[in-house]
Chains A and B, each alone.
Chain A
Amino acid sequence: MSDNRRAILSLAGALVLLHLVLALFGLWRDWAWPAIGVSFILLVLVCERLGRMVPARWRATYERALALGFPLLVLILWQLGARFGLINPLWFPPPSEIARALWEVSVNYDRFSGTSLLGRPWLIPSAWAEGGLPAVGALLSESHLLATVGRVLAGFLLGAIPGILVGVVMGVNQTVRLMLDTSLSAIYVLPKIAIFPIVMLMFANPFGEGPKIVVVALAVFILMAINAMAGVRQIDPVYLMAGRNYGAGPWQLLRHVILPGALPVIFAGLRIALGTAMIVIISVEFLRAKQGVGYMTYYYWEVLVPEKMYAGLVVVMAMGVAFTALLYWLQRRLMPWRR
């Protein structure tokens, strides 16, 4: 026990000493990156030994503190590094700047393009008083965030539902599987963004919402068809036998055995499809959009405001986290047996 404590103290001491020596001899700036590498290793060793001293009932708290504490440390170092010119603030603006930029894009309205990040929700009451629901709709339609969320959700639903249906049919029926599997696998490896020009060609208004939603839907469709098929195929045949032996007809088998049996893989597929949908929509918005979080991020590249580009990324990340949380919630509702 005291051995452990002594080891922690000497490792922490070594960490401090290393930086003191580098700073005193004026080497710190030149040797910053190797020093960071060594510091990380020393920090890991310290935390491992600290972890051994944590009693079992505090274990979960310790793990959470480690999981949240380290990113926090990185943010602090990033902040300091950018402040003192260790890292290029043009590439890596300090987190405080990014936070301020995020606040700015959230509360400001761009008169030139007629857009804002959130759609100025604080104006909803007065819009409602003036023009009722249409006025509120007009207000929210200026939002970058809602534009992207709307496209992702619409594309996701339009792709996932038919995708799961086709996948289940492919899983159940060998003939359909043999006929479609090769084509699906071939399209699967195609970068979905490559289809975008063709989709634009098909729409009367190539710059409207249609092509953007359809390209997301296509990407999600392919993924979900493949995953739902795999989900059905991995069901242990003994469950199908049991279902039939206990009198289930084809539809009962689908409802009571095949769908619940495939659900874990379908949900794994939905999570992957969500990531793909985000990639596709952000790329599409980079390419061809007058609105959306991807458009906003790209716009601030064009006018060179890096902290606002980062603000755009933070919004994309927050969207990803929110959608994933939604999926997990749905999963707990639909698969209570996995809880």
Chain B
Amino acid sequence: MDDTVATPWKIRAQSVGKVYDTAAGPFTAVEDFDLTVGDGEFVAIVGPSGCGKSTVLRMVAGLEDVSSGRIEIARGSDPGKPTNSVVFQEYAIFPWKTVIENVAFGLQMRGISRAERLDVARHWLDRVGLAKFAEYYPHQISGGMKQRVSIVRALANDPEVLLMDEPLGALDAQTRVVLQEELLRIWEETRKTVLYITHSLEEAVLLGDRVVLMSAQPGRILDIYQIDLPRPRSFETTNLPAFADYRARIWDKLSAEVTRAMEMQP
């Protein structure tokens, strides 16, 4: 277990717990969750489904309250910056807004002028090759393009930290690989602090500086792995022997967890 960071911390979660009050009694979704994410670090969380990893992300985002413990996001020098922006698995880009209006949404909510926010949005659409789809509505573009829009909506908002909740989970395998590379490229350019939820171990090892492994019911941190693969990474990275080593080492523990979680399903 390695939860030390060299750089100043950006996200700090201290003994966070989440208990839901259900009709069948209290249900513990997350327990004793401690994690510190450094400035500019990319941390990926993996775990079996139902391990509470999405709950953790939503608590960091402030979309759900913590039942115990505390979560902090360190603010930078610019007080106008939003603390976090979430990229949702279901894209969650608004069907009633055009692509460019979606990307500019966060800026619009902060009262930034129309000309300025559309400029920023156009710049980001350009960076992911979507400039010519600016005036399209979401139902007119593919799933991969929708998720690109969702990602640049978060980036255009320029938050302190980027929170990604299985952003590529709904995409087909090929589109997924293309978007992983794109994510790596953009992250290399921006060096945002990222907390990344995924159920794909390969994705976690490929993208993350560290991989957090969670157990199911209650969701708890089992282990944290430092991934010392060279950057910049790309799909080629997955061919390195070191990549296979990491994957095998983490998979050992993850597979046991997945089996245990499946047996616990009612």
Where the two chains meet, the residues of A that have a C-beta atom closer than 8 Å to any C-beta of B are 236, 238-239, 241-242, 244-249, 252, 256-257, 260-261, 263, 335-337
Nearest 10 CB-CB pairs, A to B? A260-B96, A247-B109, A242-B92, A246-B106, A337-B137, A238-B92, A337-B96, A245-B86, A248-B109, A238-B90
Which among A239, A246, A261, A263 is the interface contact of B109 at CB below 8 angstroms? A246
Which among A238, A247, A249, A261 is the interface contact of B88 at CB below 8 angstroms? A238
Q: A238-B88, A337-B137, A337-B139 in contact; A245/B61 too (CB < 8 A)?
A: yes
Does B94 lie within 8 Å of A256, measured CB to CB?
A: yes
**Docked pose: A247 CA to B83 CA in angstroms:** 10
User: Is B105 part of the contact surface with A, judged by Cβ < 8 Å?
Assistant: yes
- A245: chain B residues within 8 A (beta carbon): 61-63, 84-86
Does A241 lie within 8 Å of B137, measured CB to CB?
A: no
Shortest beta-carbon distance, A12 to chain B, in Å? 44
User: Is B110 part of the contact surface with A, judged by Cβ < 8 Å?
Assistant: yes
Q: Please provide the chain B residues from 99 to 119 with a CB less than 8 Å away from any CB of chain A in the complex.
A: 105-106, 108-110
Q: Please provide the chain B residues from 23 to 65 with a CB less than 8 Å away from any CB of chain A in the complex.
A: 58, 61-63
Does A242 lie within 8 Å of B88, measured CB to CB?
A: yes
**Docked pose: A246 CA to B153 CA in angstroms:** 9
**Docked pose: A247 CA to B63 CA in angstroms:** 11
Question: Total contacts A to B, CB within 8 angstroms?
Answer: 58
**Docked pose: A253 CA to B90 CA in angstroms:** 19
Q: A246-B106, A247-B109 in contact; A241/B94 too (CB < 8 A)?
A: no
Residue of A nearest to B84 (CB): A245
User: Is B8 part of the contact surface with A, judged by Cβ < 8 Å?
Assistant: no
Which among A246, A248, A249 is the interface contact of B85 at CB below 8 angstroms? A246
User: Is B95 part of the contact surface with A, judged by Cβ < 8 Å?
Assistant: yes
- A263: chain B residues within 8 A (beta carbon): 96
Shortest beta-carbon distance, B71 to chain A, in Å? 15
Does B90 lie within 8 Å of A236, measured CB to CB?
A: yes
8 A-B contacts, Cβ less than 8 Å apart?
A238-B90, A238-B92, A245-B86, A246-B109, A256-B94, A257-B94, A260-B94, A335-B96
- B193: chain A residues within 8 A (beta carbon): none
Q: A241-B88, A335-B96 in contact; A247/B82 too (CB < 8 A)?
A: yes
- A249: chain B residues within 8 A (beta carbon): 109
Residue of B nearest to A241 (CB): B63
Residue of A nearest to B109 (CB): A247
**Docked pose: A247 CA to B92 CA in angstroms:** 15
Does A252 lie within 8 Å of B88, measured CB to CB?
A: no
- B106: chain A residues within 8 A (beta carbon): 246-247
Shortest beta-carbon distance, B61 to chain A, in Å? 6
Shortest beta-carbon distance, A330 to chain B, in Å? 15
Shortest beta-carbon distance, B187 to chain A, in Å? 20
Shortest beta-carbon distance, B118 to chain A, in Å? 16
Residue of B nearest to A334 (CB): B96
**Docked pose: A238 CA to B57 CA in angstroms:** 14
Q: A238-B88, A337-B137, A337-B139 in contact; A246/B157 too (CB < 8 A)?
A: yes
Residue of A nearest to B111 (CB): A247
Q: A241-B63, A241-B86 in contact; A247/B96 too (CB < 8 A)?
A: no
